[in-house]
Amino acid sequence: MVFMADQFDFFSRRCAWVNGPIIVGSGPSGLAVAASLKEHGVPFVILERSDCIASLWQKRTYDRLKLHLPKQFCQLPNFPFPEDYPEYPTKKQFVDYLESYAKHFEISPRFNQSVQSARYDETSGLWRVRTVGTGAEAGNRSHEMEYIGRWLVVATGENAEKVVPELEGLGEFGGDVTHACDYKSGEAYRGKRVLVVGCGNSGMELCLDLCDHDAFPAMVVRESVHVLPREVLGKSTFELAVMLMKWLPLWLVDKILLVLAWLVLGSISKYGLRRPSTGPLELKNTQGRTPVLDIGALGKIRSGDIKVVPGIKRFSPGRVELADGQVLDIDSVVLATGYRSNVPQWLQIPFPNGWKGQSGLYAVGFTRRGLSGASSDAVKAAKDIGRMWREETKPAKRPVACHRRCISQI
């Protein structure tokens, strides 16, 4: 009976031939590779599990968010930001930019398509990507699809799924517990004592936002962290680092950045913030840990408006006991504990270390270099696919045995 059920599922699911690469994800990375493929005249299909482009930016970011880097380092290929945008565009401005980008390049993702598996068929030399409908389509058997194509581009990004750590007693806490992806504004926390777990850019900025709304944040700093000024003498610290990297080795640039940070911010150790022994750029390249670019949170830490506390030992009703024995009365918890990729859950092949893997597999936006890195990866992937597209016979002319009902080519 199990065999018959599996067999029924295999034959009932519709399949579609994709005359070009299958792109998974319609965030900045997916849009960038799609636009770059357009430049090479290569057709494609974008599969997106949400109902809009850039769903992370549109649905899972806080209201006050701005780009942490200057706009020239965040624009996508062949489409600059509007000249009247500020140096650090707001969340709304960035989403508007992405919408304009998709419209300009006529990119139309297939929304509500959640990828369940992607496997490479050695026999045919093709990718088979299985999806199910999400949202209103969830549970509808007729919305199960299998897309078949020569190339697969994974563009879901490094921040697809929220990370929720196991914290002893959290279920007994009794107060409001929220992940940063669901946090919108400190208005909901006005007058409350809030424990923010995490000290990255999100954790720091959420604490700042809570202060601006008259809440009382305490920030858990369990590990060492690099805090750099966002600007030095009016110039972006990131831009300065990029310029220095053209002439100097990474270790020396790290030394320069730390000296500048000390001159601008002073010592941060007396506030409970320990710097890692590894430099900020090396740490980013090797472990993916992004340095914090300070936009005001450090000043609130100095004034005592943001309290820095050590790791958590356990929660109890309305309280948290810390690693040093302190006990704090708190009303709410915000988990600024980051995100992770969901690719290992559905990709049935080893993930590449760079932008190109084996068997027609590409990865865009996974090289730990932010939006500028994603744009660079997109251009390289599209160029490589475009070259093969021109050299090879178009997939549409190749006989493919689907073994079940196939709909028209895409």
What is the share, in percent, of the chain residues with pLDDT greater than 90? 82
DSSP 8-state assignment for residue 149: E
Confidence of residue 9 (pLDDT cuts 50, 70, 90): very low
**3-class SS of residue 133:** strand
Decide if 80 contacts 13 (C-beta within 8 A). no
The string of pLDDT tens digits covering residues 65-76 is: 999 999 999 999
- DSSP state string for 308-325: EE--EEEEETTEEEETTS
B/e letters for 114-149, b = 16+ CB within 10 Å, e = fewer, are bbeebebeeeeebbbbbbbbbeebeeeeebbbbbbb
Over residues 187-209, mean pLDDT: 97
* Mean per-residue pLDDT over the chain, rounded: 90
pLDDT tops 50 at residue 5: no
What is the share, in percent, of the chain residues with pLDDT greater than 70? 90
The string of pLDDT tens digits covering residues 114-166 is: 999 999 999 999 999 999 997 654 555 557 999 999 999 999 988 889 999 99
Closest CA to 294 of 326, 256, 262: 262
- What pLDDT does residue 34 have? 98
Confidence of residue 219 (pLDDT cuts 50, 70, 90): very high
Closest CA to 229 of 290, 296, 283, 302: 296
Distance CA 196, CA 183 (A): 11
Distance CA 26, CA 49 (A): 9
- What pLDDT does residue 134 have? 79
- What pLDDT does residue 370 have? 87
Confidence of residue 7 (pLDDT cuts 50, 70, 90): very low
| Domains, in order of start, for the chain | 2-160+341-407 (3.50.50.60), 163-338 (3.50.50.60)
- For residue 254 the two structure tokens come to 């790290």
Report phi then psi at 80, rounded to 5. -70, 160
Distance CA 175, CA 317 (A): 8
